[in-house]
Chain A
């Protein structure tokens, strides 16, 4: 069964990366520096992504029932991951001011898994 609330968690990482690389405003201007084809990069990246290791590395949320010990031991926690201090990174705060429980979880948060 699905959860009626939208999520931004472990499994959604690939989707986010895809959006950043394939979508978004493209600036056509003389002063814009083109980097070439980010979409190709996206394909390469997606192929290498969203493993349990990746998710654990970024402290993302796991589906319930995941063997966390196995995941954590498999993950190489990246030392240069700064602790995201921005207010978007808390599960208790919503990125939109809804009063009920439709608070999405931030995809890049360093939160306790459930």
Chain B
């Protein structure tokens, strides 16, 4: 069948575009409030709103009151919202331990009563999830590679490359062009092998000290001043690790960095965004 039906997302967007929100609660994260002081968070929420916690039997939703979702064409504004959002989640994590972080711009309707009903409706699941994340955080490890040193070394080490180089020197222009192509193909092949090897070594090195590991897409336009132009992003992992293993994880990453041309970016601790479950049907 070839008829195009709108995806669930498209349908939802269409139905919600003009929606006014009645007694909305902007939801940052859900936390375990059993071991913490009564819930006040010394931080201001998105758009300068007051942040507070709505509790049901030791499970708390960190929220602020809102009448609208946060939408804008202004990227600077979005950035400010995101940073503020994360500050609130960080403060919640400090006060209550690892939070269950919501995706940005999650709003529930129906006021505190509606929110409590929602918490009660998913109480067991949320409690179990919170328990599973106790004392663990998300870390990101990005492996970047500058292939220049490898290319230099392999040119002398690889028999096929050496042979092609010698033949090139003894050939006329036309033949030389073809040999050049073959040389490049062989070099690319060797580079790909090396990249796979590095990614495998990284995964192998960190697996013993993490609870969970998932590979992330490297095709995101994450160009920042941190990574140099020559370095290519080879692999990104999001891992879930016990906070007590943070140092061990860093030490293991260091063993990978000893390879020529390799740089590792190690970020965290983050709330477990990548490992967060969906809640609801």
Chain A residues in the interface with B (C-beta under 8 A): 1-8, 10-29, 31-38, 41, 43-52, 54-55, 58, 63, 78, 80-82, 84-89, 95-98, 100, 102, 104, 106-108
- Point out the residues of chain B lying under 8 angstroms from A81, CB to CB: 80
CA A29 to CA B79, docked complex, whole Å: 27
The 3 closest A-B pairs by CB, nearest first: A11-B226, A28-B280, A4-B250
Cβ-based interface call for B254 (8 A): yes
Q: If A5-B250, A20-B104, A38-B104 touch, does A11 touch B278 (CB 8 Å cutoff)?
A: no
Minimum C-beta distance from A112 to chain B (A): 19
Q: How does the 8 Å CB contact mask read for B46-86 relative to A, with 1 for contact and 0 for none?
A: 00100000000000000000000111000110111011011
Chain A's closest residue to B137 (CB) is A96
> Is B90 within 8 A of A106, CB to CB?
yes
Beta-carbon contact of A16 and B270 below 8 Å: yes
Dominant secondary structure of chain A at its interface with chain B: loop
Q: How far is the CA of A1 from the CA of B140 in the complex (A)?
A: 17
* Bound Cα distance from A71 to B170, whole angstroms: 53
Residue in A closest to B26 when the chains form the complex, CB atoms: A33
B110 to chain A: which residues have CB within 8 Å?
Answer: 31
A38 to B269: give the CA distance in the assembly, Å.
23
Q: Is the CB of A104 within 8 A of B268?
A: yes
A to B CB contacts below 8 Å, 25 in the list: A2-B266, A3-B266, A8-B270, A15-B222, A16-B270, A18-B220, A20-B86, A23-B274, A24-B104, A25-B277, A27-B27, A27-B102, A28-B281, A34-B16, A36-B12, A49-B79, A51-B225, A58-B83, A80-B80, A86-B42, A96-B269, A98-B244, A104-B269, A106-B90, A107-B86
